[in-house]
Amino acid sequence: MRLVMRLRTISRIAALCAVAAIALAAVWGLLIPAGHNAPTLITISRGDSISKVASELHSKGLIRSWEAFAAAAYLSGKWRKVQAGRFELTPTMTPLEILDAICLGTGKVWRGLTIPEGYTLRQIADEVEWAELLPADQFLSQAQMTVDFNPPFPIPRGSLEGYLFPDTYRVDVGESASAIIQQMLRRFDNIIWQGLFHQQPTYGGRSLNDIIILASLVEGEAKQDKERPIIAGVLMNRLKRGTRLECDATVQYALGDGRKTRLTRQDLTIPSEYNTYLHEGLPPGPICSPGEASIRAAMTPAKVPYLYYVARPDGSHVFSVTFAQHEVAIAQTRRGH
């Protein structure tokens, strides 16, 4: 009898030790951080199982036990709340803190990306790199692969210049160049294609691309919103007459990285299809990403008699009907009037 009692006591002690061991393992696996390494980026895709997520966290050294992590997720019911996305997590977080982060989205890493009106593709690419999202050349290369994109509106081949809508974007760290560009194209779709064009390929007999090209010229020339429709009207008047546009902004675009604050006579002779001092009509493509105000101006230019304009030092313009008037305006602006 004493032997039986002794065996029962030993069994109870063994059971208590086992429970204690399990409890210690749970504490070790769920409450103790995995280490002190640098933050790690992890991607969770929609539909990933909690076991897969736990295994990924363990393989990257973020948790000590993937089994304990998965068990905690199932027992707490949080496995149903895990969000898809990219998360910046650190081994100094406890596994339970990591579980909360991927359920609440608090570990998501993103950058604010602001693209001003009038930026060229090159400038947009530089902005993407400055935001520490992607190398500029990688973004620029993707933006020139238009066959990779199929937006609901027509786009020209060879370049997305003019179609990456200027705005402020929230971009997840680790996002691909294609995904960032898709986000910008969706904004163009929402605001311009659906909002202004009502999904019609032409407006007033002009194609979407022709209007975006004209809008990019307006964006490059106008400094004041009230002048955008007037400048668009001047450019349309010249187009209708078959007169060269002689738009300085197109020459600046042709100069590329060699842009200047003031153009010289030699600059106006640069051999480029974009040099509207040499070639009639619109340039072959947009010269920047125009904003909504410039696109509206290009869609409905002001009905004005002017054929010329020259910029004042403050960025406003003097508009003229005849070339003689234009010459007088040039002389006055150079004298600071």
Q: Where in the chain is CATH 3.30.1490.480?
A: 27-104
Q: What is the pLDDT of residue 12?
A: 52
The whole-number pLDDT of residue 7 equals 45
Residue-level pLDDT at 16: 43
pLDDT at 114: 92
The tens place of each residue's pLDDT in the chain, 337 residues long, gives: 554 455 454 455 444 444 334 444 445 456 677 777 777 888 888 889 999 999 999 998 899 888 989 998 999 899 889 988 888 888 888 888 899 888 887 777 778 899 999 999 999 999 999 988 999 999 999 999 888 899 999 999 889 999 999 999 988 888 899 999 999 999 999 999 999 999 998 999 999 999 999 999 999 999 999 999 999 999 999 999 999 999 999 999 999 876 777 888 898 999 999 999 999 999 999 999 999 999 999 999 999 999 999 998 888 999 999 999 999 999 988 876 5
Largest Cα separation within the chain, whole Å, is 125
Q: Classify 27-104 by CATH class.
A: alpha beta
Integer angstrom CA distances of residue 239 from 276, 280, 282: 11, 8, 8
Q: For residue 38, what pLDDT is reported?
A: 74
CA dist 242 and 240 (Å) reads 6
pLDDT on residue 1: 55
One DSSP character per residue, 155-218 reads --SS--TTTS--SEEEEETT--HHHHHHHHHHHHIIIIIITTSTT-SEETTEEHHHHHHHHHHH
Looking at residue 260, its pLDDT comes to 73
Residue pointed to by tokens 């979407």: 208
What pLDDT score was predicted for residue 335? 78
